[in-house]
Chains A and B, each alone.
Chain A
Amino acid sequence: MSPTVEIFCDTHGGTPFFSSSEDYEDFRVSFGEKLRPELDKTREARRQSEEASRKHCIA
C-alpha cells in the first residue's frame, strides 16, 4: 500500500473489505467472467446498430 493510501486509511478509518489478496483476486476474476457474456451481447447489439446506420438516409 502506498503512503498516500495509508494516510487516507489512517485519516478516514475503514477496513480492508477482502481479508486476503486471494479473496480479492477471486472476486475480481469472477466479476469479470460473469459480465463477459452480457457485454458480448451488448457489443453485438452495437455492431448491428452500426450496420443499420449505414442504410438510413435522412433528408
Chain B
Amino acid sequence: MIHNPNSLLPIVVFDETDDWNSVRQLCSEYLDQPGQGRLETALSANTKCVAVEHHYIDKDYRDTFSNFHSKRFSTPGSRCVRLHFFNRQVSPDELKEPANIQENYLGYSVIRPTRPNSIGRTLIDFKNYTGLGVYVCSCKEKVSLQGTELEVEGFPFISQDTDATVCAQSALWMMARYFSNQYTIYPESYPSQISNLVQDYAVGSRVVPADGLYTWQLAETLRRLGLSPITYSRAGFDPDTFRRILYTYVESGIPVLAVIPGHVVVLNGHSSDFSPLAAVTSPTFSSNFCNGITVNDDNHIPYQYISETSTTHNGINFADIKEVVVGLAEKVFLTAENFEKVVLNILDDPIVGIKKLSPELAKEPLILRMFLTTVKSYKKKVSSRGMGDPKVESTYRELPLPHFIWICELSTPEEYGKGNVLGEIIWDATRNARETEGWIAIHYPEVLLIDAGSSLNDPQKLLNFNLTLGNQPYSMYRSNLKEV
C-alpha cells in the first residue's frame, strides 16, 4: 500500500502489493537498482515502511553539485530524495507527532541523482541491529521530517560518487562527520571542503575529478580538520601490536581509517569472544579477545563486519589492512603504544608493581583493558561504579584531572568475564611516556597511589592510601562505545 503516492511525501507500506521495488519506482530518477540492492541488504530485515521525501535539498550533495556537477555540460539535478525507514507500518497522520514514531524510526538515506552510486549521506539507527554483541562508535543527529523532529543514532555513511569523491574522500567524510556530530569543537565539513584540504599537495595533478590520495594525505586532511593524526603500518609494527593498537583506539571511541591495497574504509567498532578467558595463564590484553571489527565501506553498506576469517561483502579481510590512520584530539600527546609500555613498566616495577603492592593481583593472570577517554565522561561514572572503595571514589571525584586520560583497567579472568575490574592505572594523556609526572593514579585492590602534586599543578607528590575493603570488584568503564 502507498499512502499519498502523488504527494511530496508518499509512504510505502510493505505488504503483498508494495515493497522495495515500489520505493524505487517512486524515485527512479534517483534510486537505481544497485542502490536499491544496497538498501535492501542493510535494512530489509526490519524495515516495514519507507517514507519518500521528494525535493530534498541535501547540504553535502549541494556542495558537490556546486563545486563539480554544475560545471559540467550535462548536469544531474541539484536536489535529492531522502528516504526514511520505519520498523512498523506508519500512516501520514502518525508522522506529524514525533512521540508516535520515534521508537520506530530506523534512520534515513539521501538518494542522489548521480551514477554509478546514488547512496548519499546516510545514518541508519542502531535499532536496526540488535543483539549482535558489537560495540560501535556512535553519534546522534536530529532529523526534521516535514517539521517532525526525530533523532537517530548511528555512524555516518556515504558512498563515493566516483567523480568529485572517491573512497578516500568518502572515508574522510565519514570520519569528519562523526567527529563534528559528536564534538562541537570540530566544524561540519562538506565533500568539496575535504577534497580541497589537500589541494596544496596536488602539484601537477587535479583535485577534481578525484584520482585518489596517498595515506599521508589522509593524515594531512585529518590534521587540517583539527585532529592530530598518527599513521601505523604493518611495515613498522608486528601483527599483534598492530592489532592491539587498532583495537585500543576503536575501544576509545575513535574510529580509524584503514588502508587496504587500493582502498580505504572506516573501522568503527568491535566484538569479542571471551571463551578463551578460562585458559589465560599470563597477563593478557583485552584486545586478544577481539574477534571482529565493524567497518563502513563506501562501496557497499554501513556496519559490515570483518575478522581474521570472515570478509565484508567486498571481500575485505582483517589481514588486508596494511595501515591505519588515527585522528587524535590535539591535546592527546601520549599514544596507545607508548601508554602500553608505561603500563607494563609499572606492573613489573619492583617498587610500584603488583608483586610489591598487590598480592591479590599478583596471584592470578591479569587481564588488561586500555582505552583513552575524557575526564568528564570518566568522572560521570565514578559514583555509579563505586570504584571498589569509597576512598577511591571520593579521590577521583575531587582531584583535578587533565581533559584526556589513558586508563588501563586491571582484572582477573573470572571477574573480567562478568564485566568487572579490580583496579586501574590512570595516566595523563598530555604527558610524555617517560615522565613520571604523567602518573595520576595507580589503584590496586589493596592500595591507591595518586600524584596530588601534579594534579594541583605542583611538583610531583605521590601519596599512598591503604584501602581496607580489599578485593571488591566493580563494573568496567563503558561510555566510549554503544553496545548493539
Interface residues in chain A, defined as those with a beta carbon under 8 Å from any beta carbon in chain B: 1-2, 4-5, 8-9, 12-18, 24, 27-28, 31-32, 34-36, 38-39, 42, 44-59
A9–B436 contact, CB under 8 A?
Answer: no
* Residue numbers in A under 8 Å from B237 (CB-CB): 45, 49
Residues of B within 8 A of A55 (CB): 214
Q: Which residues of A contact B464 (CB under 8 A)?
A: 14-17
Choose, from B337-345, B372-380, B409-417, the stretch at the interface: B337-345
Give the residue of B259, B335, B450 whose beta carbon is less than 8 angstroms from that of A14.
Answer: B450
Interface of A is mostly: helix
Do B338 and A53 touch across chains, with their CB atoms under 8 A apart? no
Q: Could you tell me the distance between the alpha carbons of A38 and B449 in the complex, rounded to whole angstroms?
A: 24
Bound: A1/B458 CA distance, A: 8
Contacts of B219 in A (CB 8 A): 53
Q: Residues of B at under 8 Å CB distance from A?
A: 166-168, 211-216, 218-219, 230-233, 235-237, 241, 259, 261-264, 322-323, 325, 335, 337-338, 341-342, 345, 349, 351-352, 391, 394-395, 398-399, 433-436, 449-450, 452-453, 456, 458, 460-465
**Count of A-B residue pairs with CB < 8 Å:** 145
Across the interface, B461 reaches (CB within 8 A) one of A5, A35, A58, namely A5
Interchain residue pairs A-B with the least CB separation, the first 10: A59-B212, A48-B236, A14-B463, A49-B233, A53-B215, A45-B236, A52-B233, A49-B236, A52-B235, A17-B462
Given contacts A35-B342, A59-B262, contact A49 B463 (CB under 8 A): no
Which residues of A sit under 8 angstroms from B453, Cβ to Cβ?
Answer: 1, 5
Known: A39-B338, A57-B212. 15 other contacts (CB 8 A): A9-B463, A12-B394, A12-B395, A14-B452, A17-B449, A32-B435, A35-B342, A35-B433, A48-B235, A52-B323, A53-B214, A53-B323, A58-B167, A58-B264, A59-B263
Q: What B residues does A16 contact at CB under 8 A? A: 461-464
Chain A nearest CB, measured from B468 CB (Å): 12
In angstroms, Cα B323 to Cα A52, docked, is 8
Tell whether, in the assembled complex, residue B462 and residue A24 are in contact, meaning their CB atoms are under 8 Å apart: yes
Question: A4 CB to closest chain B CB, in angstroms?
Answer: 5
Q: Which residues of B contact A27 (CB under 8 A)?
A: 351-352, 436
Q: Which residue of A lies closest to B211 (CB)?
A: A59
CA distance A57 to B218 in the complex (A): 10
Task: From B211, B398, B461, give the contact of A1 (CB < 8 A).
Answer: B461
Least CB distance, A51 to chain B, in whole angstroms: 7
Pick from A13, A39, A56: contact of B434, CB under 8 Å = A39
Is there contact, CB below 8 Å, between A39 and B463? no
| Contacting pair B341 A56 (CB below 8 A) | no
B338 x A42 contact (CB < 8 A)? yes
Q: Which chain A residue shows the least CB distance to B346?
A: A31
Report yes or no: A46 in contact with B230, Cβ–Cβ below 8 A.
yes
Given the complex, which residues of A lie within 8 Å of B166, measured CB to CB?
59
Residues of B within 8 A of A50 (CB): 216, 231
The reply to whether B465 and A12 contact each other, CB–CB distance below 8 Å, is: yes
CB pair A58–B218 under 8 Å, yes or no, is: yes
A58 to B298, CA, bound (A): 13
**Across-interface contacts of B230 in A (CB, < 8 A):** 46
A52 to B237, CA, bound (A): 12
The answer for the CA separation of A31 and B104 in the assembled complex, in Å, is 55
The listed residue (A2, A17, A51) touching B463 by CB distance below 8 A is A17
Question: Given A16-B463, A39-B338, are A56 and B323 neighbors across the interface (CB < 8 Å)?
Answer: yes
A53 contacts across to B, CB distance below 8 A:
214-216, 219, 231, 233, 323, 325
Q: Could you jot down 27 A-B contacts, CB within 8 Å?
A: A8-B452, A8-B456, A12-B394, A14-B465, A28-B436, A31-B349, A32-B434, A32-B435, A35-B345, A35-B433, A38-B341, A39-B433, A46-B231, A46-B232, A46-B335, A47-B236, A49-B237, A52-B322, A53-B215, A53-B216, A53-B233, A53-B323, A53-B325, A55-B214, A58-B168, A58-B213, A58-B262
Shortest B109–chain A CB gap in Å is 24
Q: Chain B contacts of A35 at CB under 8 A?
A: 341-342, 345, 433-434
Q: Does A57 lie within 8 Å of B233, measured CB to CB?
A: no
Tell me, in angstroms, the Cα distance from A39 to B214 when the chains sit together.
27
Min C-beta distance of B29 to chain A, whole Å: 28
> How many whole Å from A17's CB to the nearest CB in chain B?
4
In the bound complex, do residue A4 and residue B456 qualify as a contact, i.e. CB atoms below 8 Å apart? yes
Residues of A within 8 A of B399 (CB): 8
Q: Which of A39, A48, A57 contacts B341 (CB 8 A)?
A: A39
Whether A45 and B322, one on each chain, are in contact in the complex, defined by CB atoms closer than 8 angstroms, is no
Expressed in whole angstroms, the Cα–Cα distance for A22 and B293 within the complex equals: 48
Asked if A54 and B452 sit within 8 Å, CB to CB, the answer is no
Q: Which of A2, A8, A53 has the most CB of B within 10 A?
A: A53
